[in-house]
Amino acid sequence: MPKPRIYFDYNASAPLSEAAREAVVAALNVTGNPSSVHQEGRAARALVESARRDVAALCGAKPDHVFFTSGATEAANTLLTPLYKMGRSELRLSHLYVSATEHPCMLSGGRFAAENMTVLPVDHQGIVDLDVLEQALKAHDKAKGLPLVAVQWANNETGVIQPVEKIGALVKAAGGFFIVDAVQAAGRIALDIAAASADYLILSSHKIGGPKGVGAVVAISDLVMPSALVRGGGQEKGHRAGTEALPLIAGFGAAAREALAAQQEGSNLPRWSDTIRTTIENGVRRLADDVLVHGDAVPRLPNTSFISLPGMKAETMQIAFDLGGIALSAGSACSSGKVGASHVLAAMGYEDECGALRVSTEKSATMQDAEAFLTIFERLVARRDQTRSQVQAQFSGESENNAA
């Protein structure tokens, strides 16, 4: 009987939780359209509003300030627009500021023209340069419109947690608006939209054990909202047209409810994942003294390690782990399976050839899983060192022949 595979790629997608699965199946049997006023429609609407309350509770927001999308990418493209509305009045945001380590859906700039976008540098640990941000905001021409700043709460590759409270304070002092991509942070650290000084959060269902294909924009208030990206029937109070994906939304709500309950019970990630991460990171350092654990000097998500082994390509290591029964990523899984250079590492100042493995775990991870990872890693180190020795021996032989 084959050994069960080990899943270390939760930052790409978490398995569907049982509660979310049950909610999806139950909602599939609800006939009505949430926009209909008859009994069947009201039953469907009740499920949507229940999920809205659960998603809002996960990040300390009001249910009326949550609207559902098809995922985080749509949420980002909705928010990244120069046109906002305050009631019926238009409000223009003239320039977008994003960090260099953002997810591609943020770095694309959404509906902003390229010339109206600034990419902010990060330091060697992946933290946004606050001095550069502050100076950029001071130099911003408010006569053209207000600034819009967008950063991740936690990076999808390194797990590095940004000082969102400090960033938010700078944005507020400049009279701007602040978007926080909380996709990876949700369910792993406590979220509070007000404490982060954020105007908007972005969430994704499948990162917290809900179904794929649904996400949300969470706003601090409904006073200022972006111009709708998807227009038509006026659903979601006009913020996102189209009949709500009832089963997906119901599953999202169940996953959010589970995530919040785990935090409130004290059984959230730090109690178990720090131990797994520490075992893995101490182990790889013991096996290779030149190994790099990116972002290890600053706060990170307790479930994430981003590891480079100099002299070994990330995709080569990823294949070896896959063949060994362990699923993980070489960087982020955001480009249809493409494995390439990490823009996150490039932004942090590492050389182009520096690839990395992302190990991202959850509650199901065991110490035996960590040891299995280290066993494969040890073989990779031995393979690399043998190749280096052979190259060195060949080089030494050629040098002696040339000398003779």
DSSP-assigned letter for residue 258? H
Give the tokens for residue 363.
């509650």
Q: Is residue 270 very low, low, confident or very high in pLDDT (cuts 50, 70, 90)? A: very low
What is the set of domains in the chain, with CATH numbers? Answer: 18-262 (3.40.640.10), 274-401 (3.90.1150.10)
Q: Which residue has the higher pLDDT, 263 or 252?
A: 252
pLDDT at 336 over 90: no
Range in 270-274, 283-287, 341-345 with the lowest mean pLDDT: 270-274
pLDDT, one tens digit per residue, over 48-57 is: 999 999 999 9
Q: Catalytic site residue 354? A: no
Coil, strand, or helix at residue 235? coil
- In sequence order, the 6+-apart residues with CB closer than 8 A to the CB of 61 are 193, 201, 218, 219, 220
Give the torsion sign (CA, 336, 337, 342, 344).
positive
Tell me the backbone φ, ψ of residue 228, rounded to 5 degrees. -60, 140
Q: Amino acid identity, residue 271?
A: R
pLDDT at 334: 45
Token representation of residue 400: 């002696």
DSSP state of 186: T
Nearest to 190 by CA among 150, 216, 151, 154: 154
Q: Which whole number is the average pLDDT over 21-40?
A: 96
Q: What is the pLDDT of residues 132-166, one digit of tens each?
A: 999 999 999 999 999 999 999 999 999 999 999 99
Residue 328: Cβ within 10 Å count: 24
Mean of all residue pLDDT scores within the chain:
92
For β-strands 357-360 and 304-308, DSSP reports them as antiparallel
DSSP string, 353-385: T---EEEE--TT--HHHHHHHHHHHHHHHHHHH
How is residue 316 annotated by DSSP? H
Helix (H, G, I), strand (E, B) or coil at 15: coil
Q: Distance between CA atoms of 380 and 217, rounded to whole angstroms? A: 42
Of 80, 331, 65, 100, nearest in space to 220 by CA:
65
pTM above threshold 0.75: yes
* Percent with pLDDT over 70 in the chain: 92
**Mean pLDDT of the region 323-344:** 74
Which distant-in-sequence residues (6+ apart) come within 8 Å of 100 by Cβ?
Answer: 119, 120, 121, 122, 343, 347
**Max Cα-Cα span within the chain:** 95
pLDDT-derived band of residue 335, with 50, 70 and 90 as boundaries? very low
313 has a pLDDT exceeding 80: yes
DSSP state, residue 230: S
User: Which one-letter amino acid corresponds to residue 87?
Assistant: G
Q: What is the pLDDT of residues 293-310, one digit of tens each?
A: 999 999 999 999 999 999
103: number of Cβ within 10 Å? 24
Buried/exposed code over 279-306 (b: 16+ C-beta within 10 A; e: otherwise): bbbebbeebbeebbbbbbebebbbbbbb
